[in-house]
Structure 1
Amino acid sequence: MGNREKLLKAARDCLYEKGYRRTTARDLTTAAGTSLAAIGYHFGSTEALLNAALHEAVQEWGDRLDRALAAGIDPGAEPAERFAAVWSRIIESFGADRPLWAAQAELLVQAQHVAELREPLVASMAEGRRGLAEVFQPSGTGEREARLVGSLVQALLTGLMTRWLIDPEEALSGDELTEALRLLASELG
């Protein structure tokens, strides 16, 4: 494993153990067994390294979710049943990947104050929005509809994740989320 890979692994470990804001360049190089210069050479900055590690972790989560959805959700299921099943899998990942979600939540707050974080986060969110639209509206839609569906699902995911991190006992399940959306939809007519 080269220095770049060592640094990425160290960054992920530090993100999960210490969080985004509390991880220092020294933490990263100590965990990776590299010099401070290696961060600059491979990534340009500590923040760029942490962003790369977090982006890689989120990509891996998306791949795991895709596999879980492909293996365990009947594509012929009724839309509401499929919706609840997909959300149940996502919610399960909050527990299985708690350090990832905590790091994501911290990054969302930091991006408000650090412009260098905002740009990659915006790009990552756009990619995630497209992927979520495909998961929740597999029949395909136009670009506008995909943006709307993906944005709504992304907002739900962020809200559920935040609630789960703070108070998992009161967070909605996939079935409860489906029921809540049905109640809202009937109100909207």
Structure 2
Amino acid sequence: MGNREDLLAGARHCLIEKGYAGTTARDIATAAGTSLAAIGYHFRTTRALLDEALYQAMQEWGEELERTLAASAGADATGAERFEAGWSRIIESFARLRPLWAVQFELIASMDRSPELREAFAPANRQARLGLAAIFHRLDPEVDEAKALALGAFYQALLGGLAAQSLVDPAGTPSAAELTDALRTVAEEFATGPGAAQG
């Protein structure tokens, strides 16, 4: 690996060990086995390096999820089967990626005090929505971008809510089967109306 890759690996290690706000340039340089000057040379700022390391980690998670779903829910799977298979993998990943989710919530909490951070993550947030729509619906954003963004926002809301629950109460996080049943109930109420569902 070169210095740039070493720095990204060191930054990811520090994000997991110390969190975003608790990581210093010296921490990263020590973990990476590089000089402090290397951070400025390759990334200009420590924050830019941390942002890139976090973005890469979450992008890798998305790619891993997409591969896993393609293998576990075949082309002939129903929408409900794809939904349940997808959320099963996501929920399983929460324990393994707990530190990365904790860092994301740390960043979200600080965005009101850091407009540049919000601006830096806005494109990644949009890309995440499009990616989720592609994973769960095989929807090409170039064909119907507005629909892909809306569906992606729905899945992103589920994802963020489940991640928060898994951080606060891992044992109480709903299963993929429970989510699927809940979604069926909501869909039935939409289709038939609450009066018919209660009757």
TM-score (norm 1): 0.93
Establish whether residue 183 from structure 1 lines up as the match of residue 169 from structure 2.
Answer: no
1:118 corresponds to which residue? 118
The partner residue of 1:153 within 152, 155, 162 is 155
Please tell me the root mean square deviation across aligned C-alpha atoms, in Å.
1.5
Q: 2:96 is matched by which residue type in structure 1?
A: A
Shift, 1:134, TM fit: 0.9
Contiguous gaps of at least 5 residues in structure 2: 192-199
Post-superposition Cα deviations, 1:65-88, rounded to whole Å, max 9, x if no partner, equal: 111111111221221122111111
Contiguous gaps of at least 5 residues in structure 1: none
Q: 1:36 is matched by which residue type in structure 2?
A: L
Distance in 2 (CA, whole Å) between partners of 1:185 and 1:113 is 39
Q: 1:2 is matched by which residue type in structure 2?
A: G
Q: 1:8 is matched by which residue type in structure 2?
A: L
SS at match of 1:112: helix
Q: 1:132 is matched by which residue type in structure 2?
A: L
Shift, 1:37, TM fit: 1.8
Aligned length: 189
Distance in 2 (CA, whole Å) between partners of 1:128 and 1:50 is 18
Post-superposition Cα deviations, 1:98-141, rounded to whole Å, max 9, x if no partner, equal: 22222222222222321221122111111110010111222556
1:31 corresponds to which residue? 31
Identity across matched positions, percent: 54
Q: For residues 1-189 of structure 1, what are the structure 2 equivalents within 5 Å?
A: 1-138=1-138, 142-189=144-191
Q: 1:24 is matched by which residue type in structure 2?
A: T
For the pair shown, which has the larger CA radius of gyration, 1 or 2? 2
Q: Is the 8 A contact 2:25 2:36 kept in 1?
A: yes
Shift, 1:36, TM fit: 1.9
Distance in 2 (CA, whole Å) between partners of 1:112 and 1:137 is 33
Q: Is the 8 A contact 2:98 2:167 kept in 1?
A: yes
Structure with greater contact order relative to length (CA < 8 Å, sep ≥ 6): 1
Post-superposition Cα deviations, 1:43-83, rounded to whole Å, max 9, x if no partner, equal: 11111000000011111111111111111112212211221
Q: 1:10 is matched by which residue type in structure 2?
A: G
2:194 corresponds to which residue? none
Q: 2:137 is matched by which residue type in structure 1?
A: Q
Distance in 2 (CA, whole Å) between partners of 1:21 and 1:159 is 23
